[in-house]
Amino acid sequence: MNIPGKALSRRSILKATALAMPAAALLAATGASAQTGKASGRPELALTKPIKLSGNTVLITGGGTGIGRGLAEQMHKLGNKVIIASRRRDVLAATAAEFPGMELMTLDVRDPEGVRRFAADIIQRFPDLNVVFNNAGIMRRENLLDQQADLADAHNTVETNLNGPIRLTAALLPHLQTKAQSIIVNTSSGLGFVPLVPRPTYCATKAGMHSYTVSLRHQLRNTNTRVFEIAPPGVQTELMAGQSRNPNYMPLPQFIEETMAQFRQDPPPVELLVERVWVLRLAEREGRFDAAVDALSGAA
């Protein structure tokens, strides 16, 4: 654990909140190089064609709060027509009211028939739709030795985080393929690369979202649809209660700024990863996976 500066004791590492563990602490806990996530170890993940970030019609699920709201605000500022969607109309209305011209639509991605109706409706109302952010997600703590009889938390997590984006993508892809340029952006998580043990189904869905996104990108590589992935670290949102007030988590404005800066690159990387998440992204590649799992689980 040779990190420049003061060495971190095991006690100080375990005091960190698991998902919010500062990058330096996780580096120290797993024996990673101080250069992890920088040019020495980062794979090249660049597209061969630029994208257009203004003048689009953009759908963002989970757009009323957290990362979705931050992305909606930035896409709105860039001169795009933005539609935000989620189950909670009151939250959507509060967000849309702050940004003149932003539209809202209710959507429960867990409902297959509802997703099909939503897709038909949004295409009819906004025929220029060409950008989709699959961002809606939930996280639940689960004790696998004392599970609910109906596995309700696990079921809802899978339906929201994995099946939902797959459903919506399938419903909208034929329309997106008719556009000169279309974009799909899927939100996974740093925990899709190194799981946080008390949140097993969440981590599994995010690993699945990463794998699905890779396959989708390859299948669409010869079309006009570009596929990106956002894999956040711990960010100050209310994904978990109190998370937005935890000083160890990455401030939401900083996360959005770093993410959008990568999106504006010409061309942008296919994985829009902030510096803080690379310690998780490369853990398995660098032989630190087991240590990283232990460190996150101990901190939890």
As annotated, the active-site residues are 202
Long-range CB contacts (within 8 A, 24+) of 259-263: 259/71, 259/230, 260/71, 260/74, 263/53, 263/228
Q: Say how many CA atoms lie within 13 Å of 280 toward its Cβ.
A: 30
Three-state SS sequence of 245-262: HCCCCECHHHHHHHHHHH
Gap between the Cα atoms of 97 and 178, Å rounded? 31
Residues 249, 18 contacting (CB under 8 angstroms) = no
DSSP one-letter string for 144-170: TTS--TT-HHHHHHHIIIIIHHHHHHH
Residue with tokens 């109906």: 150
**Tokens 């404005």, located at residue:** 253
Task: For residue 180, give the amino acid letter.
Answer: A
Output the furthest CA–CA distance in the chain (Å, rounded): 59
**145, two tokens:** 């030795």
